[in-house]
Structure 1
Amino acid sequence: MTDGDQAGGLVLVVDDDLDVCETLQTVLEVSGYRVVAASNGREALMTLRSGVRPCLVLLDLMMPVMNGIEFRAEQRGDPKLAEVPVVVVSGDHGVAEKATAMGLEGLSKPIDIDDLLQVVGRFCGPPACTCGGAGE
C-alpha cells in the first residue's frame, strides 16, 4: 500500500511561501490528512523520486529554482510519477486558464478552506478520524 491509498492520505504541498505552506499544512492536518512540503518544483521531484507517493500534489506556479509549469513537465515525463494527481494552487489571476492548459484544475489564493477540503477529499478520500475531542 502506498501513502496515498489510505484514509488520511498524504498530500504534497509545493509552495515557496512559508506562510502558505504552514497554513495549508495546518488546515489539512487538523482535518485528518498527512502533509509533506517542498519549497519548489525540484524539491518536490526529489521527494517523489525518493518513493513518497502522495494522493495529491498541491502545486504553486510561481516559485524559484523550478516553477510549477516546469515541475509538471518533468512529472509528466517520468512514467513513475506521471499518474500522481496535481491541483494548481496560485494567486495568479489566470489560475483557472493556466491550470486547464496544463490539463489540471486550479484553486485561487486565497484558498477557500471548504473548496480545498472538497478537492483533497476527492483525490485522497475521507480524512483519518480526528476523534477524541470534546463531545465525542
Structure 2
Amino acid sequence: MFEHDCNILVVDDDRDLRTTVAQVLEDEGYHVDEASNGKEALERLHAGPAPDLLLLDLMMPVMNGEQFRQEQQKEPDLARIPVVVMTAAGSRVNDRIEAIAPAAVLQKPVGLEDLLGTIAHILERPL
C-alpha cells in the first residue's frame, strides 16, 4: 500500500456506495472522510481541515450536489477544493453539471481504474 498525504471527502447518500468507495481509497493509502448529503459536507468543510478533493454525488436529499457546489463556490477557501462529480444521471444533466464546474465527471457505476486514475490525475499523484 502506498501512503498518500491526501484527504478525500466522499459525499453520497448511498451508504453502501460511500462506504465501498471510502474503503477502496483507504486501501490505496488515501485519508477518507464521508458525508451523506451536501449539508453534512459543508459542515465538515467548515469544521476543517479541508480535504484535498471532494467526490460528490448530485442527487441527494437535504442538500443536493448542485446546491452544495453553489455554496462551496461562494467561499474562496472552500472553492479551491477540486470536485469530482459521480452521477448516474447521464447526459440529461450535462448543462447543470457544466454550470457547477467540476474538475471531472464520472458516470456511475464508476470503475475502479477510472476512479483512481481521475483522483491521481487531479491530485497529480502517481497511481
TM-score, with structure 1 as normaliser = 0.83
Q: Are the counterparts in 1 of residues 4 and 31 from structure 2 also a CA contact under 8 Å?
A: no
Q: Which has the higher contact order (CA 8 A, sep 6+)?
A: 1
Would the aligned equivalents of 1:88 and 1:95 in 2 still touch at CA under 8 Å? no
Partners of 1:75 and 1:27 in 2: how far apart? 26
User: What is the alpha-carbon distance in structure 2 between the residues aligned to residue 52 and residue 94 of structure 1?
Assistant: 34
Counterpart check, 1:109 vs 2:112: no
Worse-matched range after superposition: 92-101 or 33-42: 92-101
Per the alignment, residue 120 of structure 1 pairs with 119
1:81-106 C-alpha deviation (Å, 9 max, x unpaired): 11111010011122772432321221
Correspondence for 2:32: 35
Instruction: Supply the distance in 1 between the matched residues of 2:115 and 2:5 (Cα, whole angstroms).
Output: 15
Instruction: Give distance in 2, aligned partners of 1:21 and 1:127.
Output: 23
Q: How far apart, CA to CA, are the structure 1 residues paired with 2:38 and 2:110?
A: 20
Which segments of 5 or more consecutive residues in structure 2 lack a partner in the other structure?
A: none
- SS in structure 2 at match of 1:94: helix
Deviation at 1:32, TM superposition (A): 1.1
8 Å Cα contact 1:7-1:124 kept in structure 2: no
**How large is the RMSD of aligned CA atoms in angstroms?**
2.0
For normalisation by structure 2, the TM-score amounts to: 0.88
Q: For the pair shown, which has the larger CA radius of gyration, 1 or 2?
A: 1
Name the structure where helix makes up a greater proportion of residues: 2
Identity %: 45
Which moved further from structure 2: 7-16 or 98-107?
Answer: 98-107
Structure 1 unaligned segments of length 5 or more: list them: 1-5, 129-136
**Number of aligned residues:** 123
Do the aligned partners of 1:96 and 1:107 also contact (CA within 8 Å) in 2?
no
Q: Is the 8 A contact 1:55 1:85 kept in 2?
A: yes
Q: Which runs of 4+ in 1 moved over 6 A?
A: none
Query: 2:80 maps to which residue?
Result: 83
